[in-house]
Chain A
Amino acid sequence: MSAELFFFYVFAALAAGSALAMVSNLRNTVAAALSLVVTMVSLAGIYVLLRAHLVAAVQIMVYAGAVLVLFVFVVMLLNLREDVFPPARLRPFKLAGAALGAVGLAGFLAALAGHVPDMAAVPESFGGYREVGRALFTDYVLAFELVSLLLLAAIVGAVVLAKRRLEP
């Protein structure tokens, strides 16, 4: 087994395991948020193995930061208690959700089974900041600008909402 394959299995197992831990951990919300961080970081590891270095760095910088904010919300809003949640209710919904998830997974596996797409080796420079930047600002510049407008609108909206609460 090559080193790359070995690390792929390590990161894949970590990502899948911590993602499962996140959704199944209902009692301790902080632990769930931390499992999410582990998932994000393992995904970044997989991106590195796929030679998408820029995406890996951005994955950690943006998502780790974002989860940190989530973490603070969990701490602030859920009052630090592990037992604020009523013991498992909503059974039917949960079962239905699990069933739906299982159906989705089966469909995905069925679609993948048999034909793993045959990929050509990527060039050495693939996934670097130069290539991604060039693609973003030439072929996808319209999409890029639209997304930045959307984000600007979101920032303005957040500021307006935050300001209004202070005034009365």
Chain B
Amino acid sequence: MPWDVVAKSLFIVVVGVGVFAPVVTWVERKQSAVMQDRIGANRADLFGIRILGLLHPAADVIKLIFKEDVVPHGANRALHLTAPLIAAVAAIVSFAVIPYGGEYTVGGTTFSLVAADVDWGLLFIFAVGALAAYGTVIAGWASNNNWSLLGSLRATAQMISYEVTMGLSVVGVFMVFQTLRLPEMVHAQDATFRLLGFLEVFGWVDPLPAWSDWIRLPRWGVFLQPLAFVMFLAAIMAENKRPPFDVPEGDSEIVAGYHTEYSGMRFGLFFMAEFIEVVVIAGLMVTLFLGGWSVPWLSSERIVAGITPLFGGGFANLFCMLVHVTTWLVKVSALIWLQMALRWTLPRFRYDQVMDLCWKILLPLSIANIFVTGTILLLIEGTR
């Protein structure tokens, strides 16, 4: 048993940290270039080969590793050195509960593609997110720099506020899927529902005409909880402190905020943590709202049942796994793109606007969402 956990953890570290994070930095540069009508990163070359600037992430990493690591005078040395580690570790660890595939049986052994299948999966991510705030706050305080301190105080207020909204905005999703376990949540979304089914459930049109059975949507969180999708995306992007919510490092006001005094690979760790978190956010949004690894309108049972007569059950399961992991990667890439597009479209909010959005708009809306969802669920329960 421990070996498959080791293998999955290795997959997370290699794919999430080793491949995704550097590529995401490249995507960010290229996308900003496209959106600003520039060519973008294309200067790094290896023997004259440039491959669209894809060598830049490697060049960045080499530069960051060999840069001098400065600890400013009067800084708290131990804390200054630990803070980036807290940020990076928290970002990587959240990956553990995100499923990137379902359960497959090959040659008599069943395995599931999630490193830690825990009952409280989503709560685990929230708990790790609460700890991630410490990386930022300690970095700002330990630097002995006023800009850093201002940045870290802003980060504290922002992250504590948005944690509340982030938690409340997905309560509706738990209520609909009746679980907190992320793989179970994806399984629940690996199906379809009749778009007009509610007419029958409430007895308004009974029975529905036969053609309405063909109008189906995937049973995804985004269709069942559209408001929660928007609110959770806003809250979790604010939690990651990326633009438009980047007041903790607002460079026109406070230099670079909490990481003003960081250089070399320690700055690189903050940078990396941010990009890993972009991938984690995409993974989490996909799991909660976009059906995770599931293929829309094609449930895994149907894939397996369709392939088994041709090539046997083991191959069918392997094929299904390949399809699912590919689907997951496509969806995650789409959400990474969405975050990048938002980042280069919206200007930075003012600090008070960030707080107003959280406490005056998102919080009341998320509580209203819980009440409405609960009422509808009770009504449906009543008709059964």
Contacts and interface: CB of A to CB of B under 8 A. Distances in A.
Interface of A: 30-31, 34, 37, 41, 44, 53-54, 56-58, 60-61, 64-65, 68-69, 71-72, 75-76, 80, 128-129
B131 interface: yes
Contacts of A53: 118-120, 123
B126 A37 contact: no
Given A60-B131, A65-B163, A129-B180, A72 B120 contact: no
Contact of A60 (B127, B149, B153, B180): B127
Interface stretch (B99-107, B133-141, B301-309): B133-141
B137 A61 contact: no
B31 interface: no
B134 A75 contact: no
B123 A65 contact: no
Contact of B156 (A31, A56, A72, A80): A72
B123 A68 contact: no
Nearest to B124: A57
B130 interface: yes
B208 interface: no
A64 B134 contact: yes
B163 A129 contact: no
Given A41-B131, A60-B130, A65-B163, A54 B137 contact: no
Contacts of B141: 30, 71, 75
Contacts of B120: 53-54, 56-57, 128-129
Nearest to B144: A80
Query: Main secondary structure on chain A at its contact with chain B?
Result: helix
Nearest to B140: A75
B322 interface: no
Contact of A61 (B118, B130, B149): B130
Contacts of A56: 120, 127
Nearest to B160: A65
A82 B290 CA distance: 50
Given A34-B138, A68-B160, A71-B137, A61 B153 contact: no
Contacts of A71: 137, 141, 156
Q: Number of contact residues on B: which range applies? A: 20 to 34
Interface in B223-256: none
27 contacts: A30-B76, A30-B141, A31-B79, A34-B138, A37-B134, A53-B118, A53-B120, A54-B120, A57-B123, A57-B126, A57-B127, A61-B123, A61-B163, A65-B130, A65-B133, A65-B163, A68-B130, A68-B160, A69-B160, A72-B137, A72-B153, A72-B156, A75-B153, A128-B119, A129-B119, A129-B120, A129-B123
A89 to B, nearest CB: 25
Nearest to A3: B2
Interface of B: 76, 79, 118-120, 123-124, 126-128, 130-131, 133-134, 137-138, 141, 149, 153, 156, 159-160, 163, 167, 180
Nearest to A58: B123
A60 B167 CA distance: 14
Interface hub of A31, A61, A75 (most chain B Cβ within 10 A): A61
Contacts of A31: 79
A41 B86 CA distance: 13
B153 A64 contact: no
A69 B124 CA distance: 21
A162 B167 CA distance: 25
Across the A-B interface, give the 6 residue pairs with the lowest CB-CB distance, nearest first: A57-B123, A60-B127, A64-B130, A53-B120, A57-B127, A61-B130
Given A34-B79, A129-B120, 16 more contacts: A30-B141, A34-B134, A56-B120, A57-B123, A57-B126, A61-B127, A61-B130, A65-B133, A68-B130, A68-B159, A69-B160, A71-B137, A71-B141, A71-B156, A75-B149, A129-B180
A64 B153 CA distance: 16
A129 B181 CA distance: 11
A54 B120 CA distance: 7
A65 B128 CA distance: 11
A68 B158 CA distance: 12
A71 B156 CA distance: 10
A164 B178 CA distance: 44
Contacts of B167: 61
Nearest to B153: A72
Contacts of A80: 149
Nearest to A41: B131
Contacts of B134: 34, 37, 64, 68
B242 to A, nearest CB: 20
Nearest to A66: B160
Contacts of A57: 120, 123-124, 126-127
Contact of A68 (B118, B124, B128, B133): B133
